[in-house]
A and B are shown apart, each in its own frame.
Chain A
Amino acid sequence: MAHSPEQEFSVLPALHLPGLTEHQALIVEFTWLTMAVIIVALIGAIITLKKVPGGFQNIVELLTSFIENYIVDIIGKKGLSYFPLVMTAFTFILTANYIGLIPGFLSPTASLNTTAAWALVVFVFYQYLGVSQKGLKYFKHFLGPVPAMAPFMVFIEIIGEFARPFSLSVRLFANIFCGEVIIKLLFGIFAIGLPVIWMFWDSLITIPLQAFIFSLLTMVYVGGAITTEEQH
């Protein structure tokens, strides 16, 4: 039962990439595959752009306006300039999660390396935004709300700040990885039936929800970094 990624069945042969194990090389390949799928699908959507949307263009417009509405809700109108980051994270994670459901394909997000990279991008981006928009005042929120408690609060706030990318990456990784392990376990017990029901549940609820939660938390963090205290 012990999970051994090396024995995983994959349709792509593992390349010999320098400094990477076989499993990591496979994850890199499937990341490229995910990017290729997104690029081809979106170029296809752009080429066949119509005034009256139909089919695939409908889905793309639905997803775009869905994320857009949430950004306006959470950050406000000025948050729309950060739409590309949020939408890229959402699209990539959604596609990467769904690719893992096809037998013989691995999810890039079922590896902590991919999710940690995404979480670091978000972390560095919103820290940079906070410093560039508020200057040194940005660091004031590390002192906590009560000035007298500042010497104690500063440690808690700093730990809390660094816990954010950690929980962001581990949440996504654990959800997708455990989903795959559960599918494997169920296939070991039942050939048909229950595993399919679980995959159905996974694809309908867990996968879109995790992609959405990642982009939602990105919005919340970016919004917290650029809005000032007086506006609350």
Chain B
Amino acid sequence: MNFDPKILISAASALGAGLAIGLGAIGSGIGIGIAASKYIESIARQPESQSKTQTWFLVAYALCETQTLFAMLIALMLFGKIGG
């Protein structure tokens, strides 16, 4: 029985790409959720602070989102190896 190592690489790349983006999104999902909940809490407590907290919420949101994009970069790199 001949075994082609390319098949194993393809399968592992497909599995890895899916796992990378899936697991990577968990962390930033939790992070953005915490940031948003605190942001809404602070608005409910002090509605006049909205203009000031809005910027910092968006900054926190972008910083959290970046982790998923790192994962997506890895996933895309692995995706290119499928069938190669």
Contacts and interface: CB of A to CB of B under 8 A. Distances in A.
Interface of A: 1-3, 170-171, 174-175, 177-178, 181, 205-206, 209-210, 212-213, 216
A3 B58 contact: no
Nearest to B79: A1
Contact of A3 (B62, B63, B69, B76): B76
A65 to B, nearest CB: 14
A174 B70 contact: yes
Nearest to B81: A2
Nearest to A176: B69
B62 A209 contact: yes
B69 A178 contact: yes
A181 B58 CA distance: 23
B66 A174 contact: yes
A210 B62 contact: yes
B12 interface: no
10 contacts: A2-B79, A2-B84, A3-B76, A171-B63, A174-B66, A174-B69, A181-B76, A209-B58, A209-B59, A209-B62
Given A1-B79, A2-B79, A2-B80, A174 B72 contact: yes
9 A-B pairs closest in CB distance: A2-B80, A174-B69, A209-B62, A171-B66, A178-B69, A178-B72, A174-B73, A213-B62, A175-B69
Interface in B18-37: none
Given A209-B62, A213-B62, A3 B73 contact: no
A3 B81 CA distance: 11
Contacts of B62: 175, 206, 209-210, 213
Q: Majority SS of interface residues in chain A?
A: helix
B63 A213 contact: yes
A2 B77 CA distance: 8
A7 to B, nearest CB: 13
A209 B57 CA distance: 11
A181 B77 CA distance: 12
A174 B28 CA distance: 15
Contacts of A212: 59
Q: Report which residue of A178, A212, A213, A216 has the largest number of chain B beta carbons within 10 angstroms of its beta carbon.
A: A178
A83 B70 CA distance: 30
A148 B42 CA distance: 39
A53 B39 CA distance: 35
Given A2-B79, A3-B76, A205-B58, 11 more contacts: A1-B79, A1-B80, A3-B80, A170-B70, A171-B63, A171-B66, A171-B69, A174-B66, A174-B70, A177-B73, A178-B72
Contacts of A206: 62
A107 to B, nearest CB: 15
A174 B77 CA distance: 12
Nearest to A171: B66
